[in-house]
Each structure stands twice: as C-alpha cells, then as structure tokens.
Structure 1
Amino acid sequence: MDQYLGQIILWAGNFAPKGWLFCNGQLLPINQNQALFSILGTTYGGDGVTNFQLPDLRGRIPVHANNGTAGPGLAPVTLGEVYGKETVTLTIANLAQHLHIPTPGSTVTVGMKAQSGDDADTTDPVGNYPHGTPQTSTYAASANAVMGTVNATVNVQTSGANEPMPILGPTLALNYCIALNGIYPSRN
C-alpha cells in the first residue's frame, strides 16, 4: 500500500522509517518540501516564508477536527488547535454541594458552682446551685423561668493538599510518523 503525502501513522519502532519523520513539531524548509507544505501550510506553525512546522504529537492524543463547530456533546475544535491538560487542580467551584460534619475531637471542662448550707428549695434556677439531696422543687420548671442559650463556634478545618490530579487515562506510548513522500492526495 502506498501512503499519501502527509499521512500520519502510529509506529511501534524507536526510529522513523525511511521517507517518514516523527511528529515532533520540527521545522522543515519550504524549498525542500514544497508538496508537503502545500498540504500542511502553517497550520502547525512556522513562518510560511522559509519554513513550516510538522504536527507535534509528543504527549498528545489526536482528535478529529470539526472546523470549530460544536455538535451535541462535542467541543469546537479547529485543525491544528492544541487544547486540554494532563492534570487539573480542582477548586471549590468544581465540587458538588456537600456538607462536612464536624467530629468532636477535644474535651471541655466546665466548672460548676455549688453552695454550702441547706438544700435548694426554689422553683427558679436563677442564682441557685445544686447542693445536697435535691428536693422536688430543686430546679423545677416555673412558668416565668427563661433558660439561656449557649453559643459556641465549631470550626471544621480544611483538608486536602491542593495538588494537581491526573486526568489522563491508561496510555501506551507509541510514535506518530508523518509521510514526507507519497501520493499527492486529490480533493473530493
């Protein structure tokens, strides 16, 4: 099978076959590669006067270009566009809404006042303290007793190291090669 000029193949070898180059983004002189330049132009770089650049597929996953037109579930991608990242650092804006439940991790000692003398005998707890054997009226609820509230602050510490996480799936490294010679492709 004869290859087309500019055709890209996956190659398992550690050298580029004769008439092919690795797709490493190297610059080629136009005057020595006019036919290939007429296909690639400056889509992948170069000044377009003396040189042009081959696609750089090192560490890249090629995708089919859609001329910048997004379709259902597709991002707009133009020929020669480089996008995407190997890692991403999530922020709070990237996380789903959720709660953190604090877990008690400390002990608090509370001092309690006590009095000496007779047992308390009032129905209102204000100003009275537990002592001795309680009677039926000790701290009994009264119609006008107002119990106070306790305000406390619970701090939940942040967690995580804010490190980038890989988003690249399992991969196998092979070489992409581009044909420097071959059949000049005709347009449909």
Structure 2
Amino acid sequence: MISREELQNKKRILVLGCSGSGKSTFAKLLGKNLNIKVFHLDQYFHDPGWQPKDHSDFVKSIEEIISGKSWIIDGTYSRTLRQRLLLADAVFLYDYSKYFCIYRVIKRSLKSKTGMEIRTDLAPGCKEKFPDYEFLKFIWNYKTSKVYNILSETNYNTDNLMIFKNRSEFSAYVNTCLIQQNR
C-alpha cells in the first residue's frame, strides 16, 4: 500500500482501470490534494464528436505530458502504457467488476443528461451520451489482465502500486490517505 507519507512524495502518478471505475474522479481528488496537474487522456485521444485523433498526435501529446516533472494521468490506453509506466512513481489500478463499471457508466450518463453532473474530463466537443452497444461491449471486454501483463513486462515496482478491487477498498484508502490529511 502507498502510505499517506509516501503519497506526498509521489510526483508522477498513473490512474488506470476500465471506463466507469472512477479513475477521473480519483485523479481530480489526487490532483487537488497533492497540488499536481491532472491530465485526462480522453482529452488527448478524441477530437470533437468522439473521433479518435491520429495516433502519432496522441503519442506526441503523451510524450509532452510525461516530460514534465509532475503529473497525474487518468486513463489506461494500453498501447502507450509502457512508456508512462517507465516514468511513473505511483500507479493506482481499479480492478472492478465489469458489471459495476457498466452500472456506473449508465448512472453517469443519466446524471449528465439530467444536469446533475457535469464532466470536465472529456475532450472539447465530446458530450456525455447514453452508452451505445459498442461502448458497453468495450467495457464488457475490458481486460485488466492486460494491464497486469504490462506491469509485469516492465518490472514495475509493486511497492508503488495500489490496486482497488472494490469500492470499499477505495473508500478506505481515500479516508486514510487523503481525507485525514486535510483535517
């Protein structure tokens, strides 16, 4: 586990996991608590209307971000994960069930539709919409095992890895390492 004291010294942090797991919310909370700029990869991957950008432009954006002294990056995008892992001094991985993630994505879209939630982590010109079949299929087929394989291939130091298997583990960590430091 990454302790509260250790967390204060982390400057390059990755927040990984499936859509709907809570990555963006946690990344924002970390950014606020650690005073580190948060980069949401969806903003760099998509053009307006959810169109993917050219891959080389996306890679250039990531290279620019990770050349900085401090960053919190929200988003897995496994094709570029290795280069980010090589520089990250902390990784938070959400390994939640696909059922939970699908539920959260549907709930999030309904909240957005009714104006109860405004997402600031989306790319310009990309609005939250009710998940279509392709997006639900993406969540259903998301393989956290792919992330574990990349962590293993890069020999990532597991002392700097925090894995949340469920919401209660996440809440316990936040209450211990983030909320208490603000009291």
Please, what TM-score do these two structures have when normalized by structure 1?
Answer: 0.22
- Give the structure with the higher percent helix: 2
Please, what TM-score do these two structures have when normalized by structure 2?
Answer: 0.22
Structure 1 or 2, whichever has the larger Rg, is 1
